[in-house]
């Protein structure tokens, strides 16, 4: 039984009461009795169910029975009334000799009111789900879901729809969560009664509520086709901004009225994603006295998180930039992308204005709900020449946009999204991460100073929760991005993937092996225009280089330990790729920082089983690059195809590689985030 409401009954008076089906009325019999009453009886219409508490000895309430102290009459009705004052109830009081002392009469009007949402997450708004005001994660979970309306319906409006407080297109409705107000009762509510919808001030910062201009009179088909089942004329804003409470129409009979709830704010440090909407029935008192709510129904929504897509998901679209010196590279990439049947999106020189680092400008993700979902680009605070690209070129119908503005005046290199990656799904000490874990790079935890990813972006990432982030140490790198020393590739066995790590030790081992086999004279950079060739003997003889690489290996090993712990990996899940680094003086920090010595093969583009890998230009044995041979032998056994692409002049010399110069939009996970156990 729902809410219990205490009611007065007056001897000699008729009191008219509006009753909401599902609640319970309670009348204190003793309190309303004439002074010398000893007995009472109750008579009511067949539509009314009455009981006494504590229960009486008599079999029927129609017979006079002893009036006890604190005795309550409990009243319920199971159906809405057809007309006002339809049901009646009277209490008769008797004296010592069972003489009648008076009658207290109630006229009852029953209404059914239910504010409904899709709490069982099947895309339809069911009637009065008992869990509509709560939220539970997991396959047996419940609770309605809200999308942030961060796409735009108009291709010329270069702002997400959430920035305007009106609906201009029918297609905008599918980005909102359906909510239905269902009522049953007489043609109109008794004089003075009204329905209001209301939200808290803080929730008004996160949602808006719109109403369909016309009611959908109930037929047998409900909800499923609620969007298209009636003609959409206009959709007035009901709640949002400064409007926290508004009267909403009551239609008599059996009716349902469609509402649309728009999410306008992503989860963040100060917003856990829960919002509530209330619907109250207000009872008039007298002029000048505020109406009192006699019934309130509440629904709860949770805002969908922004979810990143790891390398193991199927690519949809590959983004690269055209710059004056990368034509040949783009042609080679085109072949690989076409082979997989993906779309290649080459940003023109006009769009890129010489900025080739499209990895750094944005990160692709998506949002999802039982009724709708779409990709959402997270725009980095980096803001290079590509700064306008996500908003100008990507935002559109069913393509959302979100960004965070740092409080610092200038962003640093760690704010670039080459420093924001995500692992494939993992299980760590029995805890499942079916969407993987976000990986970012920060300053060494013990460092007092150092570059860090800006707090507003970190806060945003942590608040999404489903891909609980892991912070690695990347400030030791000159550029400072995690994608300079790690990547993930799909694998047919074990956890379904391998973690690739750059490894100076593996490189030294390979070079020493070459020397031992009599290839000490073989040279790196043989065919490269922009570099001086160097022999294996020369590299191995360079003590400073060895010291620098020992330091780099320590930094990577520190991260390796964190990754093993936080992703639940074993050594067999990790492959070391032979990469050497060098230390260069950073003007900004006046500290030595690491850069790849030759093209950094771990900074690859993963397209299904096809890998586009920076061509290392290593020492040749029998005319074949020994580094390529090694990498092939490490990866091709996993069913992967390695294509080495020359990015030396256009990317490597500018402190980036293929991954930095590309971005891949991937299919969303098949798994639904709300089914995750938290
Ligand atoms: C219902 O009863 C109340 C109080 O007795 C009265 O004021 C009202 O006019 C009645 N309504 C109708 C439609 O009879
Ligand atoms: C950088 O961010 C990490 C992760 O949030 C935090 O633990 C660390 O204290 C920050 N370091 C500095 C120097 O601000």
CATH 3.75.10.10 residue ranges of the chain are: 307-675
**DSSP letters spanning 276-341:** EEEEEEEEP-STTSPPEEEEEEEEEEEEPPPEE--TTSPEEEEEEE--TT-HHHHHHHHHHHHHHT
Q: What is the pLDDT of residue 265?
A: 98
- Distance from residue 17's CA to the centre of ligand 1 (Å): 10
Q: What is the pLDDT of residue 383?
A: 87
Mean pLDDT rounded to a whole number for the chain? 93
> CA dihedral defined by 302, 303, 308, 309, rounded to 10 degrees?
70
Measured from the alpha carbon of residue 447, the closest ligand is 2
**DSSP letters spanning 207-263:** EEEEE-SS-EE--SS-STTTTTSS------EEEBTTB-EEEE---SEEEEEEEEEEE
Q: Name, in order, each residue with C-beta under 8 angstroms of 588's C-beta and a sequence gap of 6 or more.
A: none
Closest atom of ligand 2 to 471 CA is 4
Query: Is residue 223 predicted with pLDDT exceeding 60?
Result: no
Query: H or E element: which one contains 502?
Result: strand 497-503
In this prediction, residue 216 has a pLDDT band, given cuts at 50, 70 and 90, of low
Query: Is residue 208 predicted with pLDDT exceeding 50?
Result: yes
Query: Is residue 229 predicted with pLDDT exceeding 70?
Result: no
Q: Name, in order, each residue with C-beta under 8 angstroms of 407's C-beta and a sequence gap of 6 or more.
A: 454, 455, 456
Q: What is the pLDDT of residue 219?
A: 41
Q: How far is CA 101 from the centre of its chain?
A: 66
Which member of 150, 321, 555, 660 is catalytic?
660
Percent share of the chain, pLDDT over 70: 96
85 lines ligand 1 (CB under 6 A): yes
Compute the distance between CA of residue 508 and CA of residue 527 in angstroms, rounded to an integer.
22
Nearest CA to ligand 2 atom 8: 445
Nearest CA to ligand 1 atom 13: 84
**CA proximity to 387, closest of 403, 406, 400:** 403
Nearest CA to ligand 1 atom 10: 85
In this prediction, residue 169 has a pLDDT band, given cuts at 50, 70 and 90, of confident
Looking at per-residue pLDDT, the higher value among 212 and 91 belongs to: 91
Q: What is the pLDDT of residue 541?
A: 98
Q: What is the pLDDT of residue 215?
A: 67
Query: H or E element: which one contains 184?
Result: strand 177-185
Buried b (16+ CB within 10 A) or exposed e, 260-295: bbbbbbbbbeebebbbebbbbbbbeeeeeeeeeebb
Nearest CA to ligand 1 atom 2: 16
The answer to whether 644 and 613 have CB atoms below 8 angstroms apart is yes
Tell me the pLDDT tens digit for each residue of 402-419. 999 998 888 899 999 999
Give Cα separations from 465 to 109, 326, 457 (angstroms).
Answer: 47, 39, 14
641-645 and 610-614 strand pairing: parallel
Q: What is the pLDDT of residue 36?
A: 92
Q: Is 660 a catalytic residue?
A: yes
Query: Is residue 1 predicted with pLDDT exceeding 70?
Result: no
Mean pLDDT of 387-398: 93
Give Cα separations from 210 to 169, 220, 222, 241, 633 (angstroms).
Answer: 13, 24, 19, 12, 60
In this prediction, residue 174 has a pLDDT band, given cuts at 50, 70 and 90, of very high
> CA dihedral defined by 54, 58, 64, 66, rounded to 10 degrees?
-40
Tell me the pLDDT tens digit for each residue of 233-270. 478 899 999 999 999 999 999 999 999 999 999 999 99
Tell me the pLDDT tens digit for each residue of 519-532. 999 999 998 988 99
- Distance from residue 461's CA to the centre of ligand 2 (Å): 14
Query: Is residue 11 predicted with pLDDT exceeding 70?
Result: yes
78 lines ligand 1 (CB under 6 A): no
32 lines ligand 2 (CB under 6 A): no
- Distance from residue 109's CA to the centre of ligand 1 (Å): 10
82 lines ligand 1 (CB under 6 A): no
Query: Is residue 139 predicted with pLDDT exceeding 60?
Result: yes
Query: Is residue 617 predicted with pLDDT exceeding 60?
Result: yes
CATH code linked to domain 117-303:
2.60.40.1700
Closest atom of ligand 2 to 448 CA is 13
Q: What is the pLDDT of residue 235?
A: 87
Closest atom of ligand 1 to 83 CA is 13
Pocket test for ligand 1, best of 85, 186, 187, 191 (most atoms within 8 A of CB): 85
Count other Cβ atoms within 10 Å, centred on residue 332.
Answer: 16
Alpha helices in 517-618 (DSSP H): 536-541, 543-567
Count other Cβ atoms within 10 Å, centred on residue 588.
Answer: 10
Compute the distance between CA of residue 217 and CA of residue 229 in angstroms, rounded to an integer.
11
471 lines ligand 2 (CB under 6 A): yes
Tell me the pLDDT tens digit for each residue of 446-461. 767 789 999 999 999 9
Architecture of domain 307-675: 5-stranded Propeller (3.75)
Q: What is the pLDDT of residue 9?
A: 84
- Distance from residue 473's CA to the centre of ligand 2 (Å): 10
Compute the distance between CA of residue 242 and CA of residue 244 in angstroms, rounded to an integer.
6
What percentage of the chain's residues is helix, strand, coil (to nearest 5)? 20, 35, 45
Measured from the alpha carbon of residue 109, the closest ligand is 1
84 lines ligand 1 (CB under 6 A): yes
25 lines ligand 2 (CB under 6 A): no
307-308 and 24-28 strand pairing: unpaired
- Distance from residue 437's CA to the centre of ligand 2 (Å): 18
Query: Is residue 220 predicted with pLDDT exceeding 80?
Result: no
Look up the pTM and report it: 0.93
Query: Is residue 670 predicted with pLDDT exceeding 90?
Result: yes
Q: What is the pLDDT of residue 227?
A: 45
16 lines ligand 1 (CB under 6 A): yes
Mean pLDDT of 216-226: 43
Measured from the alpha carbon of residue 83, the closest ligand is 1
Sign of CA dihedral 240, 245, 250, 256: positive
CATH 2.60.40.1700 residue ranges of the chain are: 117-303
Closest atom of ligand 2 to 447 CA is 13
Percent share of the chain, pLDDT over 90: 84
Query: Is residue 232 predicted with pLDDT exceeding 60?
Result: no
Q: What is the pLDDT of residue 289?
A: 75
442 lines ligand 2 (CB under 6 A): yes
Mean pLDDT of 198-222: 78
Tell me the pLDDT tens digit for each residue of 281-311. 999 887 777 788 999 999 999 999 999 999 9
The CATH topology of domain 4-111 is Immunoglobulin-like (2.60.40)
- Distance from residue 15's CA to the centre of ligand 1 (Å): 9
Compute the distance between CA of residue 579 and CA of residue 631 in angstroms, rounded to an integer.
10
Nearest CA to ligand 1 atom 3: 16
Compute the distance between CA of residue 183 and CA of residue 279 in angstroms, rounded to an integer.
12
Tell me the pLDDT tens digit for each residue of 379-391. 999 989 999 999 9
Q: What is the pLDDT of residue 225?
A: 43
Radius of gyration of the chain (CA): 34
């Amino acid at each position: 039984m729902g809410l219990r409401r205490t009611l007065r009954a007056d001897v000699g008076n008729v009191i008219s009461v509006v009753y909401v089906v599902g609640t319970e009325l309670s009348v204190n019999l003793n309190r309303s009795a004439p002074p010398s009453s000893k007995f009472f009886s109750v008579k009511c219409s067949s539509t009314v169910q009455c009981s006494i508490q504590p229960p009486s000895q008599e079999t029927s309430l129609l017979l006079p029975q002893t009036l006890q102290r604190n005795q309550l009459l409990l009243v319920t009705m199971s159906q809405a009334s057809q007309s006002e004052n339809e049901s009646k109830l009277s209490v008769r009081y008797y004296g010592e000799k069972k003489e009648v002392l008076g009658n207290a009469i109630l006229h009852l009007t029953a209404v059914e009111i239910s504010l409904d949402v899709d709490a069982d997450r099947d895309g339809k708004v069911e009637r009065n789900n008992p869990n509509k005001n709560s939220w539970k994660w997991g396959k047996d979970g419940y609770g309605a879901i809200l999308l942030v309306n961060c796409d735009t319906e108009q291709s010329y409006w270069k702002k997400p729809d959430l920035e305007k407080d009106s609906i201009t297109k029918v297609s905008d409705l599918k980005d909102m969560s359906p909510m239905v107000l269902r009522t049953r009762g007489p043609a109109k509510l008794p004089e003075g009664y009204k329905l209001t919808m209301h939200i808290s001030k803080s929730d008004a910062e996160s949602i808006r509520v719109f109403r369909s201009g016309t009611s959908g009179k109930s037929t047998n088909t409900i909800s499923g086709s609620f969007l298209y089942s009636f003609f959409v004329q206009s959709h007035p804003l009901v709640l949002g901004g400064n409007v926290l409470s508004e009267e909403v129409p009551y239609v008599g009979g059996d009716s349902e009225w469609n509402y649309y709830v728009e999410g306008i704010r992503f989860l963040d440090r100060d917003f856990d994603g829960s919002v509530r909407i209330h619907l109250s029935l207000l009872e008039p008192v007298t002029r000048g006295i505020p109406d009192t709510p006699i019934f309130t129904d509440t629904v709860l929504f949770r805002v969908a998180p922004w979810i990143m897509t790891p390398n193991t998901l199927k690519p949809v679209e590959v983004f690269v930039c055209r710059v004056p010196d990368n034509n040949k590279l783009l042609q080679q990439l085109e072949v690989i992308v076409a082979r997989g049947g993906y779309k290649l999106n080459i940003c023109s020189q006009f769009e890129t204005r010489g900025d080739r680092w499209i990895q750094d400008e944005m990160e692709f993700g998506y949002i999802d709900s039982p009724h709708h979902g779409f990709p959402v680009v997270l725009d980095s605070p980096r803001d290079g020449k590509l700064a306008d690209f996500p908003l100008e070129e990507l935002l559109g119908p069913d393509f959302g946009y979100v960004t965070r503005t740092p409080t610092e005046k200038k962003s640093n290199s760690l704010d670039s999204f080459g420093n924001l990656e995500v692992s494939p799904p993992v299980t760590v000490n029995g805890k499942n991460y079916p969407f993987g874990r976000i990986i970012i790079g920060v300053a060494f935890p013990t460092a007092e100073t150092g570059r860090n990813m800006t707090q507003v972006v970190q806060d945003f990432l942590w608040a999404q929760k489903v891909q609980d982030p892991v912070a690695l140490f990347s400030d030791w790198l000159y550029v400072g991005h995690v994608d300079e020393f790690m990547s993930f590739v799909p694998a047919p066995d074990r956890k379904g993937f391998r973690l690739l790590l750059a490894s100076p030790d593996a490189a030294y081992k390979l070079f020493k092996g070459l020397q031992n086999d009599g290839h000490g004279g073989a040279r790196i950079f043989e065919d490269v225009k922009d570099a001086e060739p160097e022999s294996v003997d020369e590299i191995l003889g360079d003590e400073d280089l060895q010291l620098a690489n020992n330091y780099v290996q320590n930094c990577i090993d520190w991260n390796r330990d964190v990754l093993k712990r936080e992703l639940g990996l074993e050594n067999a899940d990790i492959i070391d790729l032979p990469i050497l680094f060098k230390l260069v003086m950073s003007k900004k920090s006046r500290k030595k920082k690491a850069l790849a010595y030759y093209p950094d093969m771990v900074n690859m583009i993963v397209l299904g089983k096809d890998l586009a890998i920076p061509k290392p230009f290593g020492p040749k044995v029998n005319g074949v690059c020994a580094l390529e041979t090694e990498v092939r032998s490490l990866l091709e056994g996993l069913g992967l195809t390695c294509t080495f692409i020359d990015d030396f002049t256009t990317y490597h010399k500018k402190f980036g590689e293929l991954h930095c110069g590309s971005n891949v939009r991937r299919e969303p996970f098949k798994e639904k985030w709300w089914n995750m156990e938290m």
